[in-house]
Structure 1
Amino acid sequence: MSDRPNPSVTDNEKRTRQPYSERLWVPLWWWPVAFGIAGLLAAEIHMGAPGIRAWLPYVLLFPIPAWVLLWLSRHRVAVTEDDRGTPELRADRAHLPVNFVARAAVVAPTAKSAAMGRQLDPAAYVQHRPWIGPMVLLVLDDPDDPTPYWLISTRRPEKILAALGLPSAG
């Protein structure tokens, strides 16, 4: 017999287990629109240039909308577990352990304008994507942190709150 612990679940596997993960992609209909605009611009340039210069605008302009749309879709929202098994919210590089959350609520798409407008605290952490309707609001209870709350865009706020183990107040 070996003195080694059970290798079925390693520390690395515990750390990388993700109860919830979401990438905030742009809507699918933006892709043909972006390529259509690039195609029209390339055709406009192509009209005045015969020969080899005729295809050059297409080659140079078509990667641009792909890069822009992928860059806009780079943001991720995930709920992971730390070394002790405590869930934490990760919004890109920022992370929030669940033990600092006093209460949570779902912000409906109809209330998003008020939450992002006149009710927004300038010290809040906001990750807003205009093409995503709902948001999740996490009010903090950390005396060392001047941030009063987090406001995060997500397509499935109920799943985030469930993965964090928080009841939804909205």
Structure 2
Amino acid sequence: MSAAPTQSTSSAGYRERLVPGPGIFIALLLLIPAVALVLTPVNAQIAIPTAVIAYAVVAAAMLLLSPTIAVADGFLTADRARIPVDQLGEIELLGTDALRAAIGPGLDARSFLLIRGWIKRGVRIQNIDPADPAPVWIITTRHPRALADAIEAARTE
């Protein structure tokens, strides 16, 4: 269910939707027996159909509310936050252990975070805008190298 980043012209350098992986939707199947178990004493005939509808609604909400990361038109957009790429400094690629350390106890509370627990890699990007209170952006992504390359390419345009 993960979308590969799009690589094209300067108007759309990178785009990734942080949708949950298949494992999340498989685990979410436990919602069906849970809802059915609660509704069976009330009305056994509607228990299973209601449980399936509840699963579909929650799964659809997870898909529709998944944030997007994009690099386009000179901006890095992470969900609803947006920053010009010329205000970004050094980019560090984070593997599983480095990501855990980056968002651990040493994290600066002012940092901008776009973290999804089902994605185990990311990037840490220095923010060089002196007027911005967030010193660093930490973003989870399935394609950290492609995101870093897109930011670098957008800076040179």
Q: Tell me if both proteins adopt one fold, taking TM over 0.5 as the criterion.
A: yes
Q: Which amino acid aligns with 2:72?
A: T
Q: d(CA) in 2 for partners of 1:110 and 1:77?
A: 22
Give the structure 1 partner of residue 86 of structure 2.
Answer: 99
Question: CA offset at residue 43 of structure 1?
Answer: 4.0
* Partners of 1:26 and 1:69 within 8 A in 2: no
Given that residues 46 and 55 in structure 1 are in contact (C-alpha distance below 8 angstroms), is that contact kept between their aligned partners in structure 2? no
1:119 to 100, 106, 125: 106
1:76 aligns with 2:79: no
Query: How far apart, CA to CA, are the structure 2 residues paired with 1:54 and 1:126?
Result: 44
Trace 1:86-165 onto structure 2 (pairs within 5 A): 87-165=74-152
Larger Rg: 1
Q: Using the alignment, how far apart are the partners of 2:143 and 2:103 within structure 1? A: 18
**CA–CA distance in structure 2, aligned partners of residues 116 and 105 of structure 1:** 14
User: Which sits farther off after the overlay, 54-63 or 143-152?
Assistant: 54-63
Identical-pair percentage: 27
TM-score, normalization by structure 2: 0.80
Mapped partners of 1:60, 1:47: distance in 2: 10
Number of residue-to-residue matches in the alignment: 143
Call closer, same or farther: CA 1:163–1:56 in 2, change over 3 Å: same
| Structure 1: segments with no counterpart, 5+ residues | 1-13, 82-86
1:29 and 1:63 map into 2 onto residues whose CA distance is 19
For structure 2, which runs of at least 5 residues remain unmatched after alignment? 1-8
Counterpart residue number, 2:45: 55
Indicate if the aligned counterparts of 1:124 and 1:147 stay in contact, CA closer than 8 A: yes
User: Counterparts of 1:154 and 1:27 in 2: how far apart (Å)?
Assistant: 12
Cα deviation, residue 46, structure 1? 5.8
Q: Is the 8 A contact 2:32 2:54 kept in 1?
A: no
Helix, strand or coil for the counterpart of 2:106?
coil
Match of 2:34 among 41, 55, 65: 41
Q: Pick closer, same or farther for the CA change 1:79–1:55 going to 2, 3 Å.
A: farther
The amino acid that maps onto 2:28 is: A
Task: Provide, for residues 46-68 of structure 1, a one-character-per-residue CA deviation record: whole Å limited to 9, x for no partner.
Answer: 6546xxx3231223232333333
